[in-house]
Amino acid sequence: MTQLFIIPCGKKKIWDKEPESGAVKAKNAYIGVLHQLCRQYVDHFDGDWVIISGKHGLLLPNDTVPDNYDLTFRKNDPRVVSVSTLQRQFKEKHLQSYDDIIALTGKKYQPYLEEVFVKAERIQYPLHGAKGIGHIQKWLKNSIATNSPLHDKGIGDE
Rounded CA separation 25/31 (Å): 12
pLDDT at 131: 86
91-101 pLDDT tens trace = 999 999 999 99
State the DSSP H helix or E strand holding residue 3, giving kind and residue range, or none if neither. strand 3-8
Give the domains, in start order, of the chain with CATH numbers.
Answer: 3-146 (3.40.50)
53-100 pLDDT tens trace = 999 999 999 999 999 999 988 888 899 999 999 999 999 999 999 999
Question: What proportion of the chain, given as a percentage, has pLDDT over 90?
Answer: 79
Taking every pair of Cα atoms in the chain, the longest distance, rounded to a whole number of angstroms, is 44
Rounded CA separation 150/128 (Å): 11
| 18, burial (CB in 10 Å: exposed 0-12, middle 13-18, buried 19+) | exposed
pLDDT at 150: 82
pTM value is 0.92
154 pLDDT above the threshold of 70: no
156 pLDDT above the threshold of 50: no
